[in-house]
Amino acid sequence: MIDYIKLASSKSKGKRPYFHDDPAVERVLNITMAVAGELAVMRERMDSIERILEKKGLVLREEIENYVPDSKEIEEERQTWHSEYISRILRIVQQEMEELENPDKSIEDIANDINEM
Amino acid sequence: MAKNIPPVWNKIAKHAMLPETTHDERARYNFLANLNKHLAHVSQGNKIAYETRVEPKFEKKHGRAIRDTKELGQEIAKDPHYQIWSSLRRSTMEMRQQAGRSIVLRQAEALRDKARTLNAGKASLVLDSNCEIPAYLLAVDNHLMPGSYHTELIEDDVTPAANYDSGIFVTTAGLLGRYNDGGGKAITNWVRKNDPNFNPKRILDIGCGMGHNVLPIARAFPDAEVIAIDTGAPMLRYAHARAMDLGITNVKFMQMDAAKTTFEDESFDWVQSTMFFHETGGKSIYKIMNEVYRVLKPGGLTLHIEQPQYTDDMSLFEKFIRDWDALNNSEPYWSKMHDIEPLDLMKASGFKEEDFMQIGAKAENDLDDGSQNAEEPEDHGRSPIWNVFGAIKN
């Protein structure tokens, strides 16, 4: 059996062109677009599930469309999920802010400090 | 209703060789087709950025206009819109290859076995292990397809063709129709309309790939002996199996280099190629055309569907953006081929100027239900409108 996972992502011949001044931008953009693609895939899957459930008479898609939390507990659960999710994906922005607020020593400096401790 | 929504991938015509797909694999293709369409719109911003930012800035600094496409390329490379569009487009094309390969490579053995069953004992598939892959194909992976058309990851591999077949629908957003055969259909219709009495007995298709464009020709002329050649064995195995499953039995698929075929002089009534020459090389293109001339009967017809040519009235920007795919979607010879006048190419092989013809062709699309008719920006390098050149040999 071939390693289809690795081979599927193989590079093609020729030096890859980079269009941004910093190749890191290109790298992050490519990863982001791949994730965007997977979100679209998941959205299509959800759509299939909803339609199948409706076809089988288990749920009306209108019910899903009109659903709003009907208890304080559910409201909080859902908003907490959003909060966690956003914090997770914007982690680096938060960390950069913390660094701004509390300028830190480098780990090499800390290693030197510790060496004296 | 939104304009110009690309058809969902599952509209693609089913046949025994088409790889099996999961729900998410189809969804991934749907995402990519839409992303391609979207980026064709984003591409419009390049012209605006060029005209309002890049060009004025250059002229102000240097006191003269941008001279050529090379200079234009250097200047526009600094523009943020061009940068983001370029990187998104490149990324989309790489994702399309990844998506296709992840579908076909996981079922490589199963696809191979299906082809073996359909091809078993058939004299209409002739592979030649001594056929050398031309250097121009070894030098690059055309349209970023790792391993190109010829690489075999397993014995009797067909995955390069399965990837091509399933993915071209995504790249072109379905504009070539359910069988991806809009080019072959267009040329067949043109030939029929132009000369209703044309009754070719022997037809040669060069650089046939997975055979998608030769099948409409074979279907239109069922009594003709049709031969389709390519150097990629995986493409031919798949093409033959696909044709068998689709019930088309008058095509013989042979592994052969178009620059040095084994056919007799003056033995074909029609020699056809579809989107082939721009994936060859600067010297080979002349050798291949010599071969076309040699094997064509007097009075025989040859037609070649190709990318649009550059014209004198085309702006620098237009030429530049047309080259984008050639260089960044790895179809490098395309960036050179437009320096050759098709007439000169054909005259060099012996065709006469008065017998030369050049026409435009638009893909026949059996999926077009009218929803794709709205005005769309041209997707350079992807549009289903081509230049066709050719001649009658006299």
pLDDT tens-place string over residues A5-56: 999 999 999 999 999 999 999 999 999 999 999 999 999 999 999 999 999 9
A51 lies within 8 A of chain B by CB: no
Q: Distance between CA atoms of B25 and B8, rounded to whole angstroms? A: 12
* Furthest C-alpha separation in chain A: 71
Q: CA quadruple B314, B315, B320, B324: dihedral positive or negative? A: negative
A106 is a domain residue: no
Interchain contact B358–A (C-beta under 8 A): no
% chain B with pLDDT above 70? 95
> According to the model, what pLDDT value does residue A116 have?
87
B97 interaction partners in chain A (CB closer than 8 Å): 12
Residues in A touching B102 (Cβ below 8 Å): 4-5, 8-9
Banded model confidence at residue B362, pLDDT cuts 50, 70, 90: confident
Q: Is the pLDDT confidence value at A101 over 90?
A: no
The answer to whether A55 contacts chain B (CB < 8 Å) is no
pLDDT tier, B209 (very low <50, low <70, confident <90, very high otherwise): very high
Strand pairing category for B385-392 and B356-362: antiparallel
Mean pLDDT of A62-68: 89
Q: What is the pTM of this model?
A: 0.89
Interface size A-B, in CB pairs within 8 Å, comes to 97
Give the pLDDT mean for B320-344.
91
Minimal-distance CA residue of chain B relative to A10? B146
Q: How would residue B80 be classed by pLDDT, with cut points 50, 70 and 90?
A: very high
pLDDT for B369 equals 60
Beta bridge partners of B387: B306, B360
- Report the C-alpha gap between A100 and A89 in whole angstroms: 19
Total count of domains within chain A = 1
Q: Looking at chain B from residue 5 to 24, which residues have their Cβ under 8 Å from any Cβ of chain A?
A: 23-24
CB-CB under 8 Å, B30 with A44: yes
Q: Between B150 and B362, where is the model more confident? A: B150
Q: Residue B367's pLDDT is what?
A: 78
Q: Is the residue at A15 inside a domain?
A: no
Instruction: Give the pLDDT of residue A33.
Output: 94
Domains of chain B: 9-124+149-169 (no CATH), 179-392 (3.40.50.150)
State how far residue A37 is from chain B, nearest Cα, in angstroms: 6
What digits encode the pLDDT tens for the residues B98-148?
Answer: 999 999 999 999 999 999 999 999 999 999 999 999 999 999 999 999 999
Could you give the residue ranges of the DSSP H alpha helices within chain B?
A: 23-42, 44-49, 55-62, 69-76, 80-105, 108-119, 135-138, 159-171, 182-194, 214-220, 233-245, 284-295, 316-328, 334-337, 342-348
Model confidence at B284: pLDDT above 60: yes
The pLDDT-based confidence of B159 (bands split at 50, 70, 90) is very high
Would an 8 Å CB–CB cutoff place A12 in contact with chain B?
yes
- Asked if residue A3 belongs to a domain, the reply is no
With cut-offs at 50, 70 and 90, classify the pLDDT of residue B378: low
- Kindly state whether residue A69 falls inside one of the protein's structural domains: yes
CA distance B43 to chain A (A): 15
**Residue A94: predicted pLDDT:** 80
Average pLDDT, chain A: 90
**A35 domain-assigned:** yes
In a domain? residue A11: no
Mean pLDDT of chain B: 92
Would an 8 Å CB–CB cutoff place B347 in contact with chain A?
no
Minimum-distance CB partner of B140 among A5, A9, A14: A14
Q: What is the pLDDT of residue A82?
A: 83
> Mutating which of A4, A21, A31 best tests the B interface, going by the most B Cβ atoms within 10 A?
A4
Binning pLDDT at 50, 70 and 90, where does residue A83 land? confident
Using the beta-carbon criterion (under 8 Å), do A37 and B88 form an inter-chain contact? no
- Write down the residue that tokens 């979207």 correspond to: B38
Residue B309 has pLDDT above 90, yes or no: no
Chain A residue numbers with beta carbons less than 8 Å from the beta carbon of B73 are none
Structural domain of A84 = 20-98
Report the pLDDT value the prediction gives residue B363, as an integer from 0 to 100: 78
Chain-chain contact of A7 with B105 (C-beta, under 8 angstroms): yes
Yes or no: say if B383 and B322 are a contact pair by the CB < 8 Å rule.
Answer: no
- CB of A23 within 8 Å of a chain B CB? The answer is no
Q: Is B316 helix (H, G, I), strand (E, B) or coil?
A: helix
Report pLDDT digits (tens) over B176-207: 999 999 999 999 999 999 999 999 999 999 99
Substitution target from B82, B105, B111 for chain A, most A beta carbons within 10 A: B105
Is A41 inside any structural domain?
yes
Per-residue pLDDT band for A99 (boundaries 50, 70, 90) equals confident
Q: Nearest CA to CA, how far is A12 from chain B (Å)?
A: 4
- Does A5 reside within a domain? no
Q: pLDDT above 90 covers what percent of chain A? A: 55
Q: What is the pLDDT of residue B380?
A: 63
Which chain A residues are closer than 8 Å to B8 by Cβ?
none
